[in-house]
Structure 1
Amino acid sequence: MPAPLPQSTLSDDLIKELSAFACTLADAAAKVTLGYFKSPIGIDDKDDGDGFDPVTKADRGAEEVIRALIEEHYPDHGIFGEEFGIKEASSPFEWVLDPVDGTRAFISGLPTWGTLIALRYNGEPVIGVIDQPYIRERYLGWPGGATLNGEPIRTRPCDTLEHATISTTDPDLFTANERPAFDTLLAKSRLVRYGLDCYAYAIVAAGHMDLVVESGLKPYDMMALIPVIRGAGGAATNWEGDAPGDCGRLLAVGDPTLLETALDILKE
């Protein structure tokens, strides 16, 4: 069975305060990203090899405004952002930021990208925001709850892979050793959707899909997703069934009873 997940020791009032601030950060980021989305924009490639890892002024500008607000309101908090790295701090709080998750979708005019904002407390993600400002959907998760635009959301029942709709961003991103496990999940599931980036996790939390599996993720790709999935009633672990940590392999299910079946396949 999966290992028990650590519980937050933060007060309800502090959770509310920090959740509201996370939404303030998302508002600030949206003013930047929406100014560039579906508009001509310069694209840089961060990949030093043969791949393509795009970054734009939207990515950098959004992270800059988020970091400035954190520095202003919580100067003792740590920050870990995709574009500008780590700000060390003595505080047990650390904000983990991906200003535009799904930059490939962003530069292609597809509204499946999102701004990811997470707050870790002693290393555990306790608050997460998945914000898609173009279609005006904001998913917020915290210990014990999740909302879409302020309204509670729940995952849907689905206790067998045969009835499950599953997703991954791109199956070609799995390594040669990982791909057979995904192919088995695919063969046993009812339907698969690709290319959704962070939006796939939001859709699972809202009760429209059932499972997302990925590998090769960085902390800023995944930390915000975990509180949203868990808060909506789902489960999120690494491929061994433990807390995801920074390992890069993430499994998210809407119905926790589906977790063990999926893990058995991923562990093979």
Structure 2
Amino acid sequence: MKEGSMNTLNEFDLLIYNTAVEAAMKAGELIKTQYHEFIAVETEFAHDLKLDIDRKAEKAIIDIIESHYSDHSIITEEDGIKVKSGEYCWIIDPLDGSVNYYYGLPYFCTCIACYKISPASVSRLAEGKKMGNPGEPVAGVVFSPVSSELYTAFKGKGAFRNGVRLSADTKRKLSEVIVIMSTGSTPDIINKSLCIANKFALCARKVRMFGATGLDIVNVASGTAGVFIQKGTNLWDFAASRVILEEAGGEIKYIETDAGKWDVVASNPAISGEVDEILKSCGFYED
């Protein structure tokens, strides 16, 4: 089924959707132009990198959003949080999978989401406090510039990859699916994640770690994978792909463990209960 349902959006909603698509593709194409070229590193951590291209891509996204909306808040990975008076908020990860990008692994993406979030909730996050509720999803876009795959969703209108409707797998058992995980970037989370990976390696078809949360979750939305698990991730890492997954019929749990930090579990509905039981046995929900 093609993406015809987006044609039924009203003018206001259609502009939000088109803005998200335009901004994601603009940033993705900018990122692609420097792929395999000299890549400037802004900040280097033990298990992560911040690149100059992250900031350039983010600016391109913000310029497009602000050309249409002056009262929408913005939460970004690089420049932080802009609190505005409106009820809409844009959540941006200009380059999800920066380490992959730097080392030439073709698994990275741009993630853009629009949510309804009260300015008070955005302000709490800006002050270093827990949000409590990440808000109501409106639109989500994930763009993979290497494969030219554009994943899109609007609340109540379905999820699509390059215009073709997505559907999460609802039939396979846990023993028949791929489980995707991220190990995180801190020693504590890495150790806990590897213990969880060991559990799932014994009962799933395979466990894989790819390194770009946005793409990982849309792989669950498309039925390519059955489960995604990550501890201590950021709102911008999963906000866009959450919309796509839910519109594709998948399930997602997100638990705020600290200000701006979330534990996330995405799965197909057929195995969510079994996944939960395994995670409980690993102490996943005890932080």
Judge same fold: TM > 0.5, yes or no. Answer: yes
Contact 1:153–1:232 (8 Å) recurs in 2: yes
Displacement, 1:124? 2.3
Structure 1: where are the runs of 5+ without partners? 1-10
Contact 2:138–2:154 (8 Å) recurs in 1: yes
Aligned to 1:34: 32
Contact 2:151–2:159 (8 Å) recurs in 1: yes
Displacement, 1:27? 2.1
Indicate which of 20, 41, 44 corresponds to 2:42. 44
Taking the aligned partners of 1:167 and 1:28, their CA distance within structure 2 comes to 28
Taking the aligned partners of 2:270 and 2:97, their CA distance within structure 1 comes to 29
Q: 1:171 to 1:92 in 2, by over 3 A?
A: closer
Aligned to 2:276: 263
Q: 1:73 to 1:172 in 2, by over 3 A?
A: closer
Q: 1:189 to 1:172 in 2, by over 3 A?
A: farther
Q: 1:181 to 1:264 in 2, by over 3 A?
A: same
**Paired amino acid for 1:40:** F
Taking the aligned partners of 1:202 and 1:178, their CA distance within structure 2 comes to 20
Aligned to 1:194: 209
Residue 135 of structure 1 aligns to a residue whose secondary structure is coil
Q: Is the helix fraction higher in 1 or 2?
A: 2
Taking the aligned partners of 2:250 and 2:114, their CA distance within structure 1 comes to 19
Displacement, 1:126? 2.4
Residue 238 of structure 1 aligns to a residue whose secondary structure is strand
Taking the aligned partners of 2:141 and 2:107, their CA distance within structure 1 comes to 15
Contact 2:42–2:52 (8 Å) recurs in 1: no
Taking the aligned partners of 2:253 and 2:99, their CA distance within structure 1 comes to 26
Provide the aligned C-alpha RMSD in A.
2.2
Indicate which of 243, 256, 260 corresponds to 1:227. 243
Residue 130 of structure 1 aligns to a residue whose secondary structure is strand
Taking the aligned partners of 2:253 and 2:138, their CA distance within structure 1 comes to 14
Taking the aligned partners of 2:266 and 2:260, their CA distance within structure 1 comes to 15
Displacement, 1:63? 0.3
Aligned to 2:168: 155
Residue 208 of structure 2 aligns to a residue whose secondary structure is strand
- Identity among equivalent pairs (%): 26
Aligned to 2:103: 108
Displacement, 1:250? 0.6
**Paired amino acid for 1:99:** P
Matched ranges for 1:74-153 at <5 A: 74-122=69-117, 123-144=135-156, 145-153=158-166
Displacement, 1:221? 1.1
Structure 2: where are the runs of 5+ without partners? 1-7, 118-134, 282-287
Displacement, 1:206? 1.6
- Which range moves more in the overlay, 80-89 or 147-156? 147-156
Q: Deviations over 1:98-139 (max 9, x none)?
A: 100000011111221000101111222321111101210010
Taking the aligned partners of 1:171 and 1:65, their CA distance within structure 2 comes to 27
Taking the aligned partners of 2:30 and 2:78, their CA distance within structure 1 comes to 15
Contact 2:110–2:142 (8 Å) recurs in 1: yes
Q: 1:30 to 1:135 in 2, by over 3 A?
A: same
Taking the aligned partners of 1:247 and 1:87, their CA distance within structure 2 comes to 18
Q: Deviations over 1:224-262 (max 9, x none)?
A: 1100111111111136xx9xx954111111x21211211
Question: What stretches of structure 1 move > 6 A for 4+ residues in a row?
Answer: none
Taking the aligned partners of 1:171 and 1:188, their CA distance within structure 2 comes to 22
Q: Deviations over 1:53-88 (max 9, x none)?
A: 212221010100111111111110000110101000
Normalization by structure 2: what TM-score?
0.80
- Aligned residues, how many? 250
Displacement, 1:216? 1.2
Indicate which of 8, 17, 20 corresponds to 2:18. 20
